[in-house]
Structure 1
Amino acid sequence: MKRTFYLLFIYMLAASPLIATAQLLGAKKGYSRADTLRGMWGPLRSCYDINTYHLDVKIDIDKKFISGSNEFSFTALSDFSTLQFDLFRNMTIEKVVYLGQEIHFHRELDAVYLSFPNEIKKGSKASFRVFYSGNPSIARRPPWDGGFIFSKDRSGNPWVSVACQGFGASSWWPTKDHQSDEVDSMTVSISIPNGLDEVSNGRFVSKKKLDDNYTQYNWRISNPINNYSVSFYIGKYAHWTDTYQGEKGPLTLDFWALREDSTEARPHWDADVKPMLKSFESWFGPYPFYTDGYKLVQAPHLGMEHQSAVAYGNKFKKGYLGSDLSGSGWGMKFDFITVHESGHEWFGNNITSKDIADMWVHEGFTCYSEALFTESLYGKDAASAYVQGIRMNISNDIPIIGPYNVNKEGSGDMYYKGANLIHTIRQLMANDDQFRAILRGLNKDFYHQTVTTQQIESYIAKKSGLKLDKVFDQYLRDTRIPLLEYKIKDGKLTYRWTNVIEGFDMPLLANLKGNKTFSLIHPETTWKTTALTAGIDSKSFMVNPNFYIKTKVQQ
């Protein structure tokens, strides 16, 4: 989700709909060595491909302390004797074991360099196990910043989870903490005090009573997963199941709500989950993780797109905590967190950006999924009203695409402006069947892959047959909104683009003939003129409001 929310504090005080990126919390003007170590895809990371992890962690809730291990199994992509993995510096590494022997490592900030006693040859497979412990970072204002959440339900029972997108999965477990390399599959073993329930990603395998009044829960993830999606939920849960008949057959649905909230949760979740899955499979293609199933889990924070175990904390309200982020009224027709966070199963989890600078690929498409869900239920006009309404949340502060190789996102506009970019391209295509085919094609052709924005941009341009390079540059890499200046005189429209990048040449639908019919015009940065139907003047002239632009009449 990472719509983590500096301005949400203001929103909650003043009922403002604005949401901003969490990077505004303690935003940096420069970048440190730690930023580079975390964000750079260097040779000590690219030399190996992660195949599987086995994360085995015991959580002492009273002491807010964790201990355990993670086993890395990998394939060498080149010859090497040293590799990098990551673990926050406040966590202790007791030892690293390779072939039954402890081996040398040294640490630099949050990076760990592991030295092997022999050279690892390209193509070979190997494994090592990291034993570690410590008090993990605690989120101060979850989900506004990342870390563990030690909370209690209304009955006073422990309620514990973690959310770490952007902050770092390596804040609580040793991992190759870069989105470029997703582990192919994973086992998660979480040991917790007896009497509580634990939920993680993937399929439940088993639970085992331990000797120290703890119970170990074991889960198996069969699909590639990004690091920040790996999570757990601890509490007193009620659990029920259902089945959705989807495009690839029966999809298991698992619901986990606090026992004290389960009566309220059932009808509330039922109202959205199956309609949402039907809509998204229609627009995006089959749910990407049939083998792991779909879970919705009540969490002690607002929400997060934890793969196959979506975190939910919207208090069983319609809209976003009971408010409509679009101001259109349509945002109150569904539970925002259920729909938005589930949309990330396609964009964010199935398709993942290699660098978080390109996170618009996650958030722009998923924000637009809210409009597509609205369209599926209430029609195209409702969807257009929704996507136009969310423009009020756009700040145009910095570009959507952030700086590369320093673990830095771009503007929080990646949500609303990203969605409006997609909506604008849809208008240029003027072919909804083709548009749907592109969305489905993205999820098929980049299935379970990590990508760059350039791959996504090129794919859309190629499949649509449109020249979109300047459109993407304008909306993703610049903060200005195109301004159409125009004047009407003697039955003629004279018009041009201003406030745009060099060479910006996006066509536009404008009302040239009256009766609210739109015709294509091709503005440039120099003045152009075209004829108008009699009776159209500067007051009645309009452009298609589905284009995210501004207009200004010249007198």
Structure 2
Amino acid sequence: MPHLLFVALLAASSATAAPLPKKGEPAITEQTQKSGGVRPAEQRALRFDTADLSFEVLPDQERLDGIATLVFTAKAPLTRLLIDLDRNLPVTAIAIDGVALPRSAWTNPAGQLAITLPHRLAAGATVSARISYGGTPHVAVNAPWDDGMVWSKTPDGRTWFATTAEGYGCDLFWPCLDFPTGEPALVTLHITVPKGLKAPSNGKLLGVDQLPDGRTRWNWQVKHPNTYAIALNVGPYEEISGTYQSRYGNTIPMYYWYLPGEKRQAEGLFAEFAPTLDFFETMIGPYPFGDEKVGVVETPHKGMEHQTINAYGNGYAKAPEGFDWLFQHEFAHEWFGNQLTAANWDDYWLHEGYGTYMQPLYGQWRDGDARYATMMDTERDKIADLVPMVRGREITEEEVYEPTKGGPGQDIYYKASWMLHTLRYLIGDQAFFDVARLAVYGRTDPKPGNFTTRYGSTAEYERFVRQVTGRDYRWFFDVYLRQAALPDLVETRTGDTLSLAWKVPGGGAFPMPVEVKVGDRIATVAMTDGKGTLVVPAGEHIVIDPWSRILKHSAALDAVKTWRTSQHGRAS
């Protein structure tokens, strides 16, 4: 009889259980979908000191419950806190400095939690807010390009879960300040998962608690994570670990969490960790988070640069260049994105342009100039040139990433990478890498312990170029960052004279020197005032820019784009 009663109760419970959300459900508000942009003064007035985040992941319900204890310092007097949090995760309790607030003290109609403080907070004072919340978080449509939760299964049917939040922001699953400069100084995470599952996350592992019912709680701590870098990853992971002896004298722990049954492939990927680290430390500088870890976790989505726990979902694909481009790209973001964070999404190219340029640069470091040229050529065909990469105002992530919202889209990857390639030619390797180190570390002599994470901007980057070279290259950045169309090199040959002239949007100056191969020799035309001439024997074969050092308009690529459009029209 008890057995029959249990079966009946279970059947009734199943019949009334809410259906699991589909991709894109539950819907999020415009506020939650927005990350960055112009923020309220009350948020700007907060310094985010620490966050203690407890999560429980409930796969059977696709639910997330959390308790967040956030500590802020007021930079100006405040009477309320404005904290970003998806309203699909309703708040059940809030305590300020340990004192519970009445339910009437907070509202969250559109995804920005407003908490009325029990007393006015003076400038310089600190406040602790303990927020209990939970619910059904938004399920990603196509992570990581559309953010949210990714609920999946391993091949043997076990839970495989991950979060992505770069586009829509951290407020998808924890209460935060959803703009780039809203980084907390220190985050401690406690992630409770069902029996048999693991939860690798950001920073250093403090320990794993074994709970009486078989669940485990994974405790991590990370310093200065950027706002979208906090990541939950849950699965029946297996682990490979090792240590890297840095050329800077420190020892860095390395970890890769992968799915069961993939040991051979996982070991192959893990073997790339040390040489990739050596490349970055040689060319750029010290791994920024060496006192925490290098961490990579296999995810049911393509990838993402979650600080010290990069997501990897490239399926161990092989490529002619001999290394896994996705692993290398996401790892590049430890320097360009996590150590150096753009203070405004308008400067997103600092993350993705450098992150993309690091793949051909690594190809050159490994295999030489032919590999570099081949990889740069592959990138060149992906440049769109529809809108400027930088608009000079505070904008949201989607206003940059999405062409439908007027953004440059993939140009922040490929056009910015090519701009860096051209800048390297223009100012030389020594200056180019000194500028990169200033941007990443704030100094040209970085060593473990003499730098901290920092925010950067386009304006600052231009100042670094002036500082290192002693010359003003605004003309260069005006064309490549603040104009859509590429510079066009017009050539005219009359008798034994080759005349070259740059034509740029707006008709401004563009004194970009141009190499010309004449027979077996290469001459450089200075192009002062954007024009130059070269004596070339009549009938001599010439090649303009023979090493393709300059990002410029290409009639051939225009023709390719037109042809592709016509082919697409025929197919449809």
Normalization by structure 1: what TM-score? 0.86
The change in CA–CA distance for 1:32 and 1:240 in structure 2 (over 3 A counts) is closer
CA shift digits 1:17-70 (9 cap, x unpaired) = xxxxxxxx9xxxxx9777779522331111110111011011100100011211
The change in CA–CA distance for 1:491 and 1:396 in structure 2 (over 3 A counts) is same
Considering Cα pairs closer than 8 Å and 6+ residues apart, tell me whether 1 or 2 has the greater RCO: 1
- Shift, 1:523, TM fit: 5.8
CA shift digits 1:306-362 (9 cap, x unpaired) = 11011111111124xxxxxxxxx5xx3210111000000000000011222211110
| AA of the residue aligned to 1:388 | D
The residue that corresponds to 1:8 in the other structure is none
In 2, the alpha carbon distance for the partners of 1:552 and 1:259 equals 50
| AA of the residue aligned to 1:550 | H
Q: Does 1:484 align with 2:482?
A: no
In 2, the alpha carbon distance for the partners of 1:38 and 1:94 equals 26
2:373 to 376, 384, 388: 384
Q: Does 1:509 align with 2:510?
A: no
2:467 to 440, 462, 465: 462
In 1, the alpha carbon distance for the partners of 2:294 and 2:323 equals 19
The residue that corresponds to 2:417 in the other structure is 419
In 1, the alpha carbon distance for the partners of 2:254 and 2:341 equals 23
CA shift digits 1:214-233 (9 cap, x unpaired) = 22111111x21112110021
In 2, the alpha carbon distance for the partners of 1:535 and 1:269 equals 57
Kindly indicate whether the alpha-carbon contact (under 8 Å) linking 1:240 and 1:254 is maintained by their aligned counterparts in 2: yes
Kindly indicate whether the alpha-carbon contact (under 8 Å) linking 1:483 and 1:499 is maintained by their aligned counterparts in 2: yes
User: Greater shift after overlay, 440-449 or 93-102?
Assistant: 440-449
User: Greater shift after overlay, 287-296 or 105-114?
Assistant: 105-114
Q: Does 1:311 align with 2:311?
A: yes
Kindly indicate whether the alpha-carbon contact (under 8 Å) linking 1:181 and 1:450 is maintained by their aligned counterparts in 2: no
After TM superposition, the structure 1 = structure 2 runs for residues 94-493 of structure 1, keeping only pairs within 5 Å, are 94-103=92-101, 104-221=105-222, 223-246=223-246, 247-270=248-271, 272-319=272-319, 329=320, 332-401=321-390, 404-407=394-397, 408-409=399-400, 410-411=407-408, 412-429=410-427, 431-445=428-442, 447-493=452-498
1:550 to 544, 553, 557: 553
Kindly indicate whether the alpha-carbon contact (under 8 Å) linking 1:189 and 1:218 is maintained by their aligned counterparts in 2: yes
Kindly indicate whether the alpha-carbon contact (under 8 Å) linking 1:86 and 1:170 is maintained by their aligned counterparts in 2: yes
User: Greater shift after overlay, 195-204 or 120-129?
Assistant: 120-129
Secondary structure of 1:463's match? Answer: helix
Secondary structure of 2:542's match? Answer: coil
The residue that corresponds to 1:17 in the other structure is none
Secondary structure of 1:149's match? Answer: strand
CA shift digits 1:387-417 (9 cap, x unpaired) = 2331111111222225624442232210010
In 2, the alpha carbon distance for the partners of 1:77 and 1:161 equals 35
Kindly indicate whether the alpha-carbon contact (under 8 Å) linking 1:384 and 1:546 is maintained by their aligned counterparts in 2: no
In 1, the alpha carbon distance for the partners of 2:307 and 2:441 equals 18
The change in CA–CA distance for 1:226 and 1:474 in structure 2 (over 3 A counts) is same
- Shift, 1:497, TM fit: 1.8
The change in CA–CA distance for 1:512 and 1:196 in structure 2 (over 3 A counts) is closer
Q: Which runs of 4+ in 1 moved over 4 A?
A: 31-38
The change in CA–CA distance for 1:532 and 1:342 in structure 2 (over 3 A counts) is same
CA shift digits 1:444-479 (9 cap, x unpaired) = 207401222211222123213333212212112221
- Shift, 1:89, TM fit: 2.0
For structure 2, the 5+ residue unaligned runs are 1-23, 401-406, 444-451, 557-572
| AA of the residue aligned to 2:234 | I
The residue that corresponds to 2:9 in the other structure is none
Kindly indicate whether the alpha-carbon contact (under 8 Å) linking 1:147 and 1:162 is maintained by their aligned counterparts in 2: yes
Kindly indicate whether the alpha-carbon contact (under 8 Å) linking 1:514 and 1:536 is maintained by their aligned counterparts in 2: no
CA shift digits 1:60-112 (9 cap, x unpaired) = 00100011211111222122122311001222011221122233222241212
- Shift, 1:419, TM fit: 0.4
| AA of the residue aligned to 1:466 | R
Kindly indicate whether the alpha-carbon contact (under 8 Å) linking 1:295 and 1:309 is maintained by their aligned counterparts in 2: yes
In 2, the alpha carbon distance for the partners of 1:362 and 1:516 equals 38
Secondary structure of 1:175's match? Answer: coil
CA shift digits 1:160-180 (9 cap, x unpaired) = 111111121101111111111
- Shift, 1:279, TM fit: 0.7
The change in CA–CA distance for 1:379 and 1:206 in structure 2 (over 3 A counts) is same
Kindly indicate whether the alpha-carbon contact (under 8 Å) linking 1:483 and 1:552 is maintained by their aligned counterparts in 2: no
| AA of the residue aligned to 1:277 | L
The residue that corresponds to 1:7 in the other structure is none
The residue that corresponds to 2:499 in the other structure is 494
- Shift, 1:499, TM fit: 4.1
Kindly indicate whether the alpha-carbon contact (under 8 Å) linking 2:511 and 2:526 is maintained by their aligned counterparts in 1: no
After TM superposition, the structure 1 = structure 2 runs for residues 63-102 of structure 1, keeping only pairs within 5 Å, are 63-102=61-100
- Shift, 1:524, TM fit: 4.4
Kindly indicate whether the alpha-carbon contact (under 8 Å) linking 1:508 and 1:543 is maintained by their aligned counterparts in 2: no
Normalization by structure 2: what TM-score? 0.84
| Aligned-residue RMSD, C-alpha | 2.3
| AA of the residue aligned to 1:356 | W
The change in CA–CA distance for 1:284 and 1:529 in structure 2 (over 3 A counts) is closer
The change in CA–CA distance for 1:529 and 1:256 in structure 2 (over 3 A counts) is closer
In 2, the alpha carbon distance for the partners of 1:33 and 1:542 equals 50
Secondary structure of 2:261's match? Answer: helix
Kindly indicate whether the alpha-carbon contact (under 8 Å) linking 2:55 and 2:66 is maintained by their aligned counterparts in 1: yes
Kindly indicate whether the alpha-carbon contact (under 8 Å) linking 1:239 and 1:256 is maintained by their aligned counterparts in 2: yes
- Shift, 1:536, TM fit: 6.1
* Higher-Rg member (1/2): 2
CA shift digits 1:483-518 (9 cap, x unpaired) = 011101121122222242342313122216542413
In 1, the alpha carbon distance for the partners of 2:553 and 2:299 equals 40
Kindly indicate whether the alpha-carbon contact (under 8 Å) linking 1:484 and 1:551 is maintained by their aligned counterparts in 2: no
Q: Does 1:62 align with 2:60?
A: yes
In 1, the alpha carbon distance for the partners of 2:163 and 2:155 equals 19
In 2, the alpha carbon distance for the partners of 1:33 and 1:315 equals 34
Aligned residues: 507
Secondary structure of 2:425's match? Answer: helix
The residue that corresponds to 1:22 in the other structure is none
User: Greater shift after overlay, 376-385 or 163-172?
Assistant: 376-385
